[in-house]
Structure formats: C-alpha cells, structure tokens
Amino acid sequence: MALSDVKVLGSWPSPFVLRPRIALHLKSVNYEYIEENLLESKSELLLKSNPVFKKVPVLLHGDKPICESLIIVQYIDEVWSSGPSILPSDPYERANSRFWAAYIDEKWFPALRGVLAAESEDAKKAAIAQVEEGLVLLEEAFGKLSQGKPFFGGDQIGYLDIALGSFLVWLKVIEKISEMKLLTEAKTRCLLEWAHRFSSHVAVKDVMPEADKLAEFGVKLRAKILKARAIPK
Amino acid sequence: MSKEELVILDCWVSPFCMGVKIALAEKGLEYEAREEDLFGGKSDLLLNSNPIYMKVPVLLHQAKPLCESTIIVNYIDETWPSPPLLPPCSYGRAQARFWADFIDKKLFDAGCNIWRSKGEAPEEAKREVIEILKQLEEALREKAFFGGDTFEFVDIITVPVTSWFHAIEKFGNFKVEDECPKFSAWMKRCMQRETVAKVLPNPEKVYEFLIMFRKMQGIE
C-alpha cells in the first residue's frame, strides 16, 4: 500500500494521537503523519475530515476519514488483521478492555486534566486525589486482566495498554506540577513496572513526546484554558 | 438458552437499559429483567456487579457482569452474531461506532439540560438538542435507518432516548417534528418494529416520572 494511502492527522502533545500511531506501528503499517498546531487555527483538511468534533486524531485511509482515537484503534485492528491482535478475541475480555478504556477517557483523564487546569490549591488537591484513586483501580484491573503477563493485553501490547499508556508522558508532567509521584511502589507497583515496559516498547518509544517539551507545552495550555475561562460569556 | 443465563439489572425509564433490551430482543434472546429501585436503594447485586459506576444497565451472562450500555450491546452482537447489528465492512463499523459514541455522549445529557432547568428551559439547551438532531439527520441522509435498509447498532442506541422526547418537548416548549422532520420520520419507522415498541415505555409515563423527579429535586 502506498505511503500516502494511510495518513494520521495529529498533534504531538495529544495523548489521543499516540493511540493510532502505536496501533499502526504494532501492525507495521507505514503512514504519513500530518501535524496540526493545536494552539492555532485548525486546517481545512481537519475540518473537512472531522466536521462533527473538529479534533485530532483523524485516520485517513484512502479518502475515508475515521475519527475518535479508540474507534480508530479498533478499525486498525480489524483492517490489518494479519498483524498482532490489539483487542482480545474473547467477547467478555473485549468488553472488559473497552470498559476500562472508557473509564480512562471519561473519568480518569478529566481528573488528570483537572490538575493542569486547577484554579485553586483545593481544586488541584481534589483532582490529584481523583487521579490517584483511578490509578489504584487500574492497578487492580491490571492484576486481573494481565493474568501475570507483562501487559494488560497479555504477552503483547493490547487495546487497554494503548488506552492508558498514551497518557504516561502527561502523567509525568502532572507529577511535576503536583510535586509528587502518582505511580508509586507502594500503591501501584505493577503499573509502575508496566509503565517502564510500555514506554520502552519498540512500537511506542519513538512516538512518545519528550517530558520536558510536553511540560513546556503544558504551561502554555494551562494559560490558554484559564484565559478562556476568564472571558465572560 | 435458559432464562437464568441472562439477567439484566434494569430500570424501566432508563434509555440505556432500553438499548440493551432491544439488542437482546433483536437477537431473539430470552432474559430476566430485574427492576432496580433507584430511589429506594440499589441492590447488593448491582453494587457488586458495577462497583465503579453503580448504575444500570448491568447484563449478567452466566453470572459474569457487563456494564455500560454500548459495551453491552457490542458484547451481545459478538457473542450471538446472528443477525448482525454492525455492518460487515470495517469502515461501516467505524462509522456506526462513531455515531453511537456521539449519541451516547451528547443526546441524553443535552435533553437533561432542558428538563433539569428551573422555570423556563434555556434557549441554549433547546438549540443544542436541535443541533444534535440535525447532525443525526445529516448522518441518516435518505436512508431508512442509520444502518441503511436494516435496523442496526446506531438505531438501537438512539431510539431509546426518543421515549424522553415528549417530556423534553413539553418542558422545552418545542416539537421535534417541526424542527427535525426527517428524524421524526425515522422515529416513527423504528416504533413500527416490535422489538422497539415492546421495550420503549409510554412517553406520557416518562413525562409523569420527570414531573415527580423534578419535584423531588426541588426543581419547579
């Protein structure tokens, strides 16, 4: 397949963009990566490809746009079926993977974002507590789903590894802002070890952003969020 | 399959529970529905089966719990593949998942913004619901159902919320049929399906429920 047949519209700081990229790497699929600047206005291609949400990532397969990171990962898993499987084959295990991925996106990520965007010390503390609570739940889930193997997906990186792993560098940034470790030996030992394994995986390490660069971006993003809140509606 | 194998922890008025029941009916599956008393106190079974969200629906298949309606519907489709609820091609499936996700995240909450407001419903809330329905009309185009000729995944996820529309129209003082006639026509087509007609509650009952619920919450 020609390189230009598979494109990813993305933005380097976005954890959601990492997901399709990791999935494509796992499947050894070549693709063209097109960078969108999240802090400036959106490109025509993005607006045309994702008119509903106008967000990255978008996968362009030929002329077909696919949106929403986890939906894209499932699409990649189905289309390039000869590569290693991303979702488990058993329907109950698939449901569990989807459940925890949805939890990460709907409950845990907003708390993580809440630390970055907190306007007061109290709000920051509350958000940090939620992040920690979530990580304890995910530690438990890891125990049950990995069944003693290195990843949520078992021997290989799977759907839930990608869903959570894509946030690892942002988690480092949030640890810096909170001035505390959120993944710890004491409470989340398995996740801590998993995080090292995931981050150094050949399909992952070249796409993860640098923590310092992301932290700098985090400062700009926080300023943008707080400014937007201050504008009277 | 015996009834004991499939149990749904249910609530008659929850559109999320309705979606699961419609999916089970479409597959011709028998199940036991156990009504949860959401005001009287949730059952131990619910709290143990869904400790993260403590919400209905929960589907218990051979005592194994499954939570979150869209995930449950996917599970039902994968475990009992016939008749299929998702299109055969990967792109069609991605589109179906996209719209189901969109509806799940947006439609119900937007509707709630109308009936949850004290006094007159804010114009912004009404505009949001209409905008969402217009986006769904775009996705529907000239097709009979979101799935094309056949009633499928997106239809199953969407149609339950429409049982709340009569109430939302009353509180919001507008009519879906006037604003979104294509969507309204799709609703009527879905209601002709036995699986849908049997599961969806009487919209007047939903309206009465919301009146009572508003009083309980101190919204008048």
Domains in chain A (CATH in brackets) are: 6-80 (3.40.30.10), 91-221 (1.20.1050.10)
| pLDDT at position B3 over 90 | no
Q: What is the mean predicted confidence (pLDDT) over B129-155?
A: 95
Nearest by CB to B67, from A61, A74, A99: name it.
Answer: A99
Q: Check: CB of residue A178 under 8 Å from CB of residue A115.
A: yes
Question: At CB < 8 Å, which residues of chain A contact B?
Answer: 52, 61, 64, 66-68, 71-72, 74-75, 78-79, 91-92, 94-95, 98-99, 102-103, 107, 137
**How would residue B85 be classed by pLDDT, with cut points 50, 70 and 90?**
very high
Among chain B residues, the shortest Cα distance to A108 is held by B52
Portion 145-204 of B in contact with A at CB < 8 A: none
pLDDT digits (tens, 9 = 90+) for A111-144: 999 999 999 999 999 999 999 999 999 999 999 9
Selection from A129, A150, A140 nearest residue A96 by Cα: A140
Tell me the DSSP string of B101-133: HHHHHHHHHHHHHHHTSSSSPPHHHHHHHHHHH
| Cβ–Cβ below 8 Å for B90 and A137 | no
The mean pLDDT values, 10 residues at a time, for chain A of 233 residues are 79 97 97 88 93 95 96 98 95 98 97 94 95 97 96 97 98 92 95 98 96 94 89 63
Using CA atoms, how far apart are residues B67 and B57, in angstroms rounded to an integer?
Answer: 7
Q: How confident is the model at residue B129 (pLDDT cuts 50, 70, 90)?
A: very high
Phi, psi (deg, nearest 5) at residue B209: -60, -45
Whether B71 contacts chain A with CB within 8 A: yes
Provide the pLDDT for residue B143: 95
In terms of CA atoms, which chain B residue is nearest residue A97? B71
Structure tokens at A159: 């759907």
pLDDT (mean) for B198-207:
97
Give residue-wise pLDDT tens across range A23-45: 999 999 999 999 998 778 899 99
pLDDT over 70 at B42, yes or no: yes
ipTM given for this complex: 0.94
Give pTM, 2 decimals: 0.95
* B97 contacts A71? CB cut-off 8 A: yes
